[in-house]
Amino acid sequence: MAENKLGPFEPTFKSGDVQFTSAGTPSRFELLEFWRWSASDLLDNTTRGVLAEYLVAKALNIAIRQPRESWSSWDLTWIVPNGATIKVEVKSAAYLQSWGQKDHSKIQFVVPKRRGFDSVNNRFDATPKRHTDLYVFALLNHKAKATVDPTNRDQWCFWVLPTSKLDARTRSQHSIGLRALQDLAGEAVHFEHLRGAAIEALFSTSQ
């Protein structure tokens, strides 16, 4: 059987000083400029979501060994102290948006069941479900645009919820509001306490 040369692409980390080329000749513009141009608006919904994933990875002490996979059925893979592999989904929200606002945004996290994607065979699962063990909800909890700074960890707060608790909800399975999340997950935690809260949530579920 011939080797499949069109399998999943495996990206490697790039350096910001990589230059664009033409006919083998470097241009005068670098990859770093592209990154700065495309991802400097950290309030942008898409960019903020990726940043939230990164912050959660750092809080959980997940080693950043390969580029992010945007097509994966979950966001992070976490090896917990007992050696178990935990699949983590990160959802983010914010009161502030990049565009002009008449009021702060209502906090709502979208958490639908989805059909997983098999990147090797290029196909979706037949049945929608949640593919993770744990959800981390990240809120950019700041309300003044003049001082908002998503790189300031003190402006973020987090909730941890085992996926089983989301599956067991009798209300909407598509989204969850702030009050409902607080009822299920309790008080928010700071970045420094997120790892402990995640371990506690997993331990309580296994009892």
**pLDDT by residue (tens digit) across 144-168?**
999 999 999 999 999 999 999 999 9
pLDDT given at position 6: 80
| Pair of tokens at residue 61 | 């002490």
- 3-class SS at 192? helix
Residue 196 has pLDDT above 90, yes or no: yes
What is the pTM for the complete model shown? 0.92
The whole-number pLDDT of residue 43 equals 97
pLDDT > 70? residue 67: yes
Residue range 40-52: mean pLDDT, rounded: 97
> Would you state the pLDDT for residue 207?
52
Looking at residue 98, what is its pLDDT?
Answer: 96
- Give CA–CA dist 152/79, Å, rounded: 26
Top-confidence range, 49-63, 72-86, 160-174:
49-63
Q: Output 48 or 24, whichever has higher pLDDT.
A: 48
Q: What is the pLDDT of residue 113?
A: 84
Averaged over 169-191, what is the pLDDT? 92
Tokens 């499949």 -> residue: 4
Q: Closest Cα partner for 41 from 157, 154, 151? A: 151
Report domain extents, the chain. 42-206
Contact 41, 98 (CB under 8 A): yes
